[in-house]
Structure 1
Amino acid sequence: MSKPRKAEDPIRWPVPCNRCGQHHQTVARWPDGGVCGYCYQQAKRTRGICACGHEGVLPGLIDNQPACRRCSGIRLNIDCETCGAEDELHSGGRCWTCVLGNVVDDLLTDPATGSIATSLIPLAAALKSMKRANSGMTWIRQKHVAAFLRNLAVAPKITHESLDELPDSRTREYVRGLLTEHGVLPQRDELRIRYDSWSAQALERVKDPQNLDVVRRYIRWHHQRRMNHMDEVTRGTFLRAKQEVTVAIDLLNWLTGHDINLPELQQSHLDVWQAEGPTTRRIAERFLKWAIKSKAAPAGLTIVPHRRGTSPRLTKPGQDEALKRVIHEDGLETRDGAAAILILVFGHQAENIARLTWDEVTTTEELVTIQLGTTRIALPDPLAEPWRELAANPGHDLTASHPNSKWVFRGASPGRHIHPGHLTTRLSKLFSTRAARLGTLHELTKLAPVAIIAETLGYSPTTIERHATDSAAAYAQYVAAAKAVRQNP
């Protein structure tokens, strides 16, 4: 990555750079003129195919087009003494890739054996083959990263369980992701593991031993049992389970503080507890239903449920304006534009967008189609253009994190898709994703039947029916019209 440019100084450097025209220190004089340090660095990193057919570093400029050293007459040392490749040099006449390779070998070599453990060879190969070796060097030279890799090199066995025993840190999880992505460790459902760990800590907050047993059963037989039947725990399931248990513990601790046992719970107690606290206490309704069903609480108790349909919606004019900005705004990242289109046009949820794979997207010069729910939907131009650009340059492919990633929206963690929360934060500068999604569903129910929208977009019919009711969509009129057509073809 190039260093950010400092403000130019015409007084100190009166002669401007021949390439950028700004007043910075001249570090080289080439056939096309004096070049500042910033343009010099950029020239060393410009790669491609010269008009003469030479493929490699193109530091020169001929008719404003990059050119090789021979064609442009530029004298520049970019020949690695170790591998012989044309590349920006790091030190000792060696390129960044060769230096990175030496550092990786040094860190992952077990001093006792003088070699890298067989299980770590795929990781070493991935780190040494990064397209952007300087990024790899920046990461690996951090003291805590280097120390972690040295310890990994002498570990008797590398498993998920052995990593779990180490202190929790971002480095541990990032290296775990690399080990998983490159086949050293098997894939596992990290959100399920995280929930198991979180719930064990949550139990420590329960004040009464009797309630502790209730919460433990609630976690095991309601939440963990449900997660164990899922192919992969979604972010929404993970967050809801945490929130429901947190509110349940809050209720039980309140009862303990008022000398009330759960089997003696009365409606008046619930009413007071709910009135005294935030609206999130309504979420205890789910725990209460489970407790009644499992005979842990008396029957007939109720909590005022969460009122649906109260969230703000982006109006139709607001949606149109947001879509115009997405299509025409300069500087908007391609992946942000592609994701925004799915929310504004189809009401797709950020979690489902983040989990899209390239198996679900087909891009050609003529057509772009995306699998949403059970149906492949075609995107017309100009909505299709960001998707074509994303297919050509998916990003996050210069490090060892995503060697052959299936994810459309790649995340910072190895082998993972973008975090849905991060995606919505990125889009928040354009619009509220929740308000936009609700506004889109509100409008769609005016155009098509509930069943078709639900099946096409992958929503439950109940959800779409609610939006249809809110928008006064006349589904009964549609059915009547359909019958009329069949009766009078």
Structure 2
Amino acid sequence: MARPRTHGKARAATVASLEPPKQQGRPRSSGSKKCDRCGRMAAKIRVHWPDGAICGICFTEALHTHGRCPSCGDRRLLPGRDADGEAICRDCAGITRPEMVCIRCGAEAERFRGGACARCVVTGDLEALLKPTNPPDLRLARLVHVLANVRRPESIYTWMRGKRAHELLTQIGERSIELTNESLDQLPRSPAVDHLRDILIHHRMIIAPEDRYLAIFERWLAKRLDELHDRPRIASVIEQYATWHHLSRLRMRIGAANMDIAARDARQQITEAGRFLIWVEDAKHLTVETFTQIHIDEYLTDAVSTRYEIKNFISWYAKNRSGQRQLYVPKRKAVLPLPSLTQKHRLQVIRNAIEFDQVALGTRVAALIHLLWATPLTRLVQLKVTCIELRPDGMRIALGRTPSEIPELLAPLFWQHREDRTNQQTTNVGTDWLFPGYRAGRHLSVPTLQQRFHVIGLDPQRTRNTTLKSLTGQIDVHSLAQTLGYAPKTLAAHAERAGIYMSRYVEAKRIARTPAVR
């Protein structure tokens, strides 16, 4: 028997219960040597500078700190520290050791290999792999420049040393692979190929496919059908369903803002349809032509919600393949009341988003947008940096037709994130996404954002329901739809659940019949 769901009883994370952030890179080793800069115990001391013994972590951080020196006013590397702990240049700090000057380009940077900085090392390795001058190829020369001149070339060095990436770059250098979509499509799909394609598209070295999400869907479908090669009857039905029902609809949506979500939904529905037909064959020893409504009902009895994704398949199958048989998927009974939080819980999560300094600022800002305006995650990740505006009367965020005021207490957090967004250390530069992703030209993915929200105790579904219930109880549906960008019909349903006054309920129902706000 399925476990009953609870609503609003989960406890919000607190500072005491906050999970420590995972350390990036190599595990930190401890020892008997104390760093005078960070106070940590280390196995060995990297260097001794005027302000004391410096561990390896602080040394690397110091050699990645650039800016204007508060002592002399020069803009340069700031590895030293003054008496107040301010970062200062090496001349003002009295640092004379040469390990922070590249022997190739003379730039102030950490020596990465053979006395050269990471940028020079990456440039040399890429030129050796891609051979942009033998024969001369301007696009390859530009690719070397793009990869070597990122803010953190060490990340590019790590990527290009991976087996798949190294093989790919070698083949390009040998001219056995051209920098075209057609050539990349012929390769087995891998993160290295997808990453390189995104880099080339984002930096306009190749033309983007008509729709990248459609291309990804077509490659996924070919792989899925290949996995069903030992079940020819099922493969035939799934191919027809995927081609006639989903692929044709996706091609009509090319360029739509939510194309990624539509393609993901199509993949899930196709996957669930395949699982159902496999269950029909294996569990009931029937064929795709002989299952009945009884088997659909049995398959959905006490089933997880994802099984109901066969609804579109059954509708298509009844219309196109089953002759006169009447097949349908019964409506799934919604769990009432809707999963929600207590206001105390919601306020605690808002406090977490403001106070948890050890959590990435982008995660905290995204959480605040979701907590205050109930923006769905699918829309949240697609917000552009231009949606936040600084005006003489305050800061505004545009989620719908009517911009909403950002509380004065939160304005510095929003502006700091807007001006220094994460994930722009490598190839995803020049993007206008408010929440950039890891790949060039991409925004953050919904699953990644969900994982980050978990750190501060935020449950998106519960939070959205609670926030909308609160807002619809305070603001009329029409005004709220203009502010949040929701369809009035959706807000009218939440207003009804919030128990608004009957006069406002009638108005909400009238507004619900107006066209949705896009």
Q: In the alignment, is residue 124 of structure 1 matched against residue 149 of structure 2?
A: no
- TM-score by length of structure 1 reads 0.85
CA displacement at 1:19 relative to structure 2: 3.5
1:39-54 to structure 2, matched below 5 A, reads 39-50=58-69, 51-54=71-74
Contact kept in structure 2, 1:449 and 1:475, CA below 8 Å? no
CA displacement at 1:358 relative to structure 2: 1.4
Pick aligned residue for 2:308 from 262, 282, 290: 282
Pick aligned residue for 1:224 from 237, 247, 250: 247
Query: CA distance change for structure 1 residues 58 and 197 in 2, over 3 Å: closer, same or farther?
Result: closer
- Please state whether the residue corresponding to 1:372 is helix, strand or coil: coil
Report the equivalent of 2:444: 418
CA displacement at 1:2 relative to structure 2: 8.7
Kindly tell me the number of residue pairs found equivalent between the two proteins: 474
- Please state whether the residue corresponding to 1:375 is helix, strand or coil: coil
Report the equivalent of 1:171: 192
Pick aligned residue for 1:397 from 424, 431, 434: 424
CA displacement at 1:190 relative to structure 2: 2.8
CA displacement at 1:100 relative to structure 2: 1.7
CA displacement at 1:327 relative to structure 2: 1.7
Contact kept in structure 2, 1:139 and 1:145, CA below 8 Å? yes
Report the equivalent of 2:91: 70
Report the equivalent of 1:58: 78
Q: In the alignment, is residue 103 of structure 1 matched against residue 125 of structure 2?
A: yes
User: Which range is displaced more, 135-144 or 329-338?
Assistant: 135-144
Contact kept in structure 2, 1:267 and 1:301, CA below 8 Å? yes
Give distance in 2, aligned partners of 1:167 and 1:100: 26
Report the equivalent of 1:487: none
CA displacement at 1:26 relative to structure 2: 4.7
CA displacement at 1:223 relative to structure 2: 1.5
Q: CA RMSD in A?
A: 3.2
Report the equivalent of 1:242: 267
Contact kept in structure 1, 2:151 and 2:425, CA below 8 Å? yes
| Identity percentage of aligned residues | 28
Equivalent position amino acid for 1:184 in 2: M
Report the equivalent of 1:181: 202
Report the equivalent of 2:172: 152
Give distance in 2, aligned partners of 1:98 and 1:61: 27
Contact kept in structure 2, 1:347 and 1:440, CA below 8 Å? yes
Q: In the alignment, is residue 379 of structure 1 matched against residue 406 of structure 2?
A: yes
- TM-score by length of structure 2 reads 0.81
Give structure 1 stretches of 5+ with no counterpart: 484-489
- Please state whether the residue corresponding to 1:79 is helix, strand or coil: coil
1:195-344 to structure 2, matched below 5 A, reads 195-203=217-225, 205=228, 213-230=236-253, 231-232=255-256, 233-254=258-279, 257-259=284-286, 262=289, 266-275=292-301, 278-294=304-320, 296-298=322-324, 300-308=326-334, 310=336, 311-344=338-371
CA displacement at 1:210 relative to structure 2: 6.4
CA displacement at 1:249 relative to structure 2: 3.1
User: Which range is displaced more, 138-147 or 211-220?
Assistant: 211-220
Query: CA distance change for structure 1 residues 445 and 107 in 2, over 3 Å: closer, same or farther?
Result: same
Query: CA distance change for structure 1 residues 243 and 462 in 2, over 3 Å: closer, same or farther?
Result: farther
1:403-482 to structure 2, matched below 5 A, reads 403-429=429-455, 430-474=457-501, 476-477=503-504
Q: In the alignment, is residue 388 of structure 1 matched against residue 415 of structure 2?
A: yes
Give distance in 2, aligned partners of 1:407 and 1:186: 20
Report the equivalent of 2:4: none
Query: CA distance change for structure 1 residues 365 and 140 in 2, over 3 Å: closer, same or farther?
Result: farther
User: Which range is displaced more, 213-222 or 183-192?
Assistant: 213-222
